[in-house]
Structure 1
Amino acid sequence: MKLIMLMLIINSCITPSLKHPLSLGLSLLIQTLLTALISGFLSINFWFSYILFLIMIGGMLILFIYMTSIASNEKFNLSFKIMLFSIIMMLMLTMFMLNKSMLVNLNLENTWIQTKYAMSLNSIHLNKYFNYPNNIIIMMIVTYLLITLIMVVKITKKNQGPIRQK
């Protein structure tokens, strides 16, 4: 858990220095994956974190299509400072992992059992959202999203191509 948090901090430190949309998208993908892992470890199952990851990937696909239509010919250059910073951070991360005194507090099985026990006491489950009072709201949201999807498809014109003109 501490390792994932450390990787989140490193990724957050590197992200402001990135300039290309592809590198920013990769950084966002790594950040989403690490956040989904943390939320999965802290809950009983990985269902919520899996849905979070899929939603973020869907949004990133839309961003990728948009960026390739706008800036398709832009070159991707790696900065020496960012590469050096990444290598130093990875070396520090490796030294952190190899140092046995740092890993004494990382008992994930004990944390997992404690989390499962605490969650079973509270009986927090996602199926409560689909029971009687809330299922009407869920069905309204699904219907709204379907109507919005149909409207967006009808509004877009087939004859007009990409956003970027030749």
Structure 2
Amino acid sequence: MMFLLSMSTILSIIFLFLNHPLSMGLILFLQAIFMCLISGYMSLSFWFSYVLLLIYVGGMLVLFMYITSLASNEMFFYSNMIFITLILLPCIYILCYILKLSYPMNPYENSDNWSIMSLISNNFLLKMYNQPINMIMILIASYLFLTLIAVVKIINIYNGPLRQMN
């Protein structure tokens, strides 16, 4: 868990130094994967984090389509600051990990909070799909599917917001 949080922090810092849209999209995608892994470890089931990742990937695909159509010829340059950051941040993480092993804090620091949080999360997921609510969830899923079909039928591909492909 500590590794995922530190990698998420490292990716956030690297994101500040990027200026190309595709590299920013890659960092956002990696951040989404790490956040879904963290939320999966916090609950007893990875189901919610899988659904969250699929929704996020769908949005990222739309962004990727717009970026590749609008900024397709932009050159990709590497910055020396990114390489320095990539070298220094894992070293700092390893140093902090070694210091944590050398000087242990409270051994019972978050064990009670962690178990209570996982039980609450598991209880919420079980109640979400029980008998009275499951029909509403099926209705919402059907409505979203019909809306998707209607939007696809309404859209004319030749009059879209993207530039024309040759």
Q: TM-score, normalised by structure 2?
A: 0.78
Q: Which runs of 5+ in 1 are unaligned?
A: none
Q: Which runs of 5+ in 2 are unaligned?
A: none
Call closer, same or farther: CA 1:123–1:161 in 2, change over 3 Å: closer
**Residues 44 and 115 of structure 1 are in contact (CA less than 8 Å); yes or no, is this contact kept in structure 2?**
no
CA-based RMSD of the aligned residues comes to 3.1
SS at match of 2:162: coil
User: Could you tell me which residue of structure 2 aligns to residue 19 of structure 1?
Assistant: 19
Superposition map of 1:140-151 within 5 A: 140-151=139-150
Give every structure 1 segment of 4 or more consecutive aligned residues whose post-TM-superposition deviation is greater than 6 Å. none
Superposition map of 1:1-80 within 5 A: 1-80=1-80
**Residues 40 and 46 of structure 2 are in contact (CA less than 8 Å); yes or no, is this contact kept in structure 1?**
yes
Deviation of 1:114 after TM superposition, in Å, equals 8.5
1:67-126 deviations in Å (ceiling 9; x for gaps): 111111111111111221222112222444455725956x9xx96x98568745886152
User: Could you tell me which residue of structure 1 aligns to residue 151 of structure 2?
Assistant: 152
Query: Which moves more between the two structures, 132-141 or 28-37?
Result: 132-141
How far, CA to CA, are the matches of 1:30 and 1:14 in structure 2? 12
| Identical residues among aligned pairs (%) | 41
Q: TM-score, normalised by structure 1?
A: 0.78
How far, CA to CA, are the matches of 1:52 and 1:3 in structure 2? 21
Aligned residues: 163
Deviation of 1:22 after TM superposition, in Å, equals 1.0
Partner amino acid, structure 2, of 1:67: I
Call closer, same or farther: CA 1:74–1:57 in 2, change over 3 Å: same
